[in-house]
Amino acid sequence: MGGGPAGLMLGRLLELRGIDSVILEARDREYVQQRVRAGVLEQATMDLMDEVGLGERMHAEGLVHEGVELRFDGEGHRIALTELTGRAITIYGQQEVVKDLIEAREASDLPLHFEVSDVSVDPAGTVRYTHDGESHILEADLIAGCDGFHGVCRPTIADVLTVYEREYPFGWMGILAECAPSSEELIYAHHERGFALASMRSHEITRMYLQCAPDAQPWEDEAIWDELDRRFGMSVNRGPVFEKGVTPMRSFVVEPMQHERLFLAGDAAHIVPPTGAKGLNTAMADVALLASSIGDEAALNAYTERALERVWRVQHFSWWMTSMLHRMSDDPFETQIQRSQLRYTVTSEAQATALAFSYVGLPFITA
């Protein structure tokens, strides 16, 4: 269920193992391919794209980064990711990953149905849906609930789930603009007025974020640029803004991630605040584990336990980065703790190394 990164990658992994699958997606193809979300691929996600034979465009067009900058008190400090870990990250938009996976599915002539509706799931193994005006029933050995945070799979088994959740009292206002990035690597800025992130999609497209009220309406472009200058303490490159929006921030995990023949993966089971760039990568980690467990009942029974081991590490890192970098409250004690943590992170090699290993990503677990 779901034609996002998790569902599409699972379909590809199953194809390579010779296991039949049908992918059902509620939205149309155009929408799914244009949906701008994550942009940072961990090393293990890049390795997975290579493993399934779809790394070519990612290597040609993606931007490999070997460091990130933490900026506070008007100064930037580089965390040398590759020097500290031997690994790197790649900037390659989630929608590009999705395009590559859809093209591959199409080339293999395997079922991927867009614009399905009236979807209902029986965790014993039955899926009902409507497509092209006709009702269908699918009997499956296994249903993968890869239908995101707002899908139908998780609510279907709500009775057996324990929910762990934290909402943050802020959101991110994000823009995409036609101009060269202001720096070659990502900049994470802590400022008394709030957090800011300078990122990119390519050498020509800039991606920027500002901490804002969770229910804020996107500001005028000029006000966004002025605020970015203030928080970064420098004059950032400006250009026409062609997309902007506000994303709320939440940490969320359900346990277990399975019930009967239904297995949840990706955003259907957990959400992180985007500060650690982990959402897409964790979705990929889940399906790598799930695909390798299919056909082995003991491994399938252990899916929740093994997936959550990694998920909670990622939850901790995302929460920690968020708490260190954002304006969390008006409490001056909290601000001093954050500044101390930031200074320690950029001056202690041990602490910088811990950040770097989590940022480039933990290895994916397989059965």
Ligand X SMILES: Cc1cc2nc3c(=O)[nH]c(=O)nc-3n(C[C@H](O)[C@H](O)[C@H](O)COP(=O)(O)OP(=O)(O)OC[C@H]3O[C@@H](n4cnc5c(N)ncnc54)[C@H](O)[C@@H]3O)c2cc1C
Q: How many Å apart are CA 34 and CA 29, to the nearest integer? A: 9
- Using CB under 6 A, pick the residue from 90, 94, 293, 304 that binds ligand X: 94
Give me 83's structure tokens.
Answer: 């020097």
Angstrom CA distances, 341 to 70, 198, 275, 315, 348, stand at 12, 21, 16, 18, 10
Write the binding mask 107 to 126 for ligand X: x where contact by CB under 6 A, - elsewhere. Answer: ---------x--x-------
164: left (phi over 0), alpha (psi -120 to 50) or beta: beta
Find the part of the chain contacting ligand X (CB under 6 A) among 34-42, 77-85, 330-338, 350-358: 34-42
Radius of gyration over alpha carbons of the chain, in Å? 21
- Using CB under 6 A, pick the residue from 27, 136, 316, 339 that binds ligand X: 27
- AA letter at 339: R
CB atoms within 10 A of CB 158: 9
Find the part of the chain contacting ligand X (CB under 6 A) among 23-31, 136-144, 179-187, 222-230: 23-31
Residue 359 annotated among the catalytic residues of the structure: yes
Residue 42 near ligand X by CB under 6 A: no
Tell me which of 188, 191, 209, 303 is the catalytic residue: 188
Q: How many Å apart are CA 63 and CA 81, to the nearest integer? A: 15
Residue 123 annotated among the catalytic residues of the structure: no
Residue in the structure block whose two tokens are 């760039």: 277
Q: How many Å apart are CA 158 and CA 100, to the nearest integer? A: 33
- Using CB under 6 A, pick the residue from 157, 205, 224, 277 that binds ligand X: 277
Min CB(328)–ligand X separation in Å:
20
Residue 188 annotated among the catalytic residues of the structure: yes
* Residues 208-267 contacting ligand X, CB under 6 A: 247, 266-267
Residue 274 annotated among the catalytic residues of the structure: yes
Residue 198 near ligand X by CB under 6 A: no
Strand 23-24 vs strand 126-131: parallel, antiparallel, or unpaired?
unpaired
Q: Which is nearer to ligand X, 27 or 327 (CB)?
A: 27
Q: How many Å apart are CA 340 and CA 321, to the nearest integer? A: 14
- Using CB under 6 A, pick the residue from 146, 157, 189, 212 that binds ligand X: 146
Residue 206 near ligand X by CB under 6 A: no
Interior CA angle at 40 toward 269 and 311, to 5°?
30
> Which residues make up the interface to ligand X (CB under 6 A)?
1-7, 24-27, 32, 37-39, 94, 116, 119, 146-148, 151-152, 247, 266-267, 274, 277-280, 283
Q: Which residues are catalytic?
A: 65, 188, 274, 278, 359
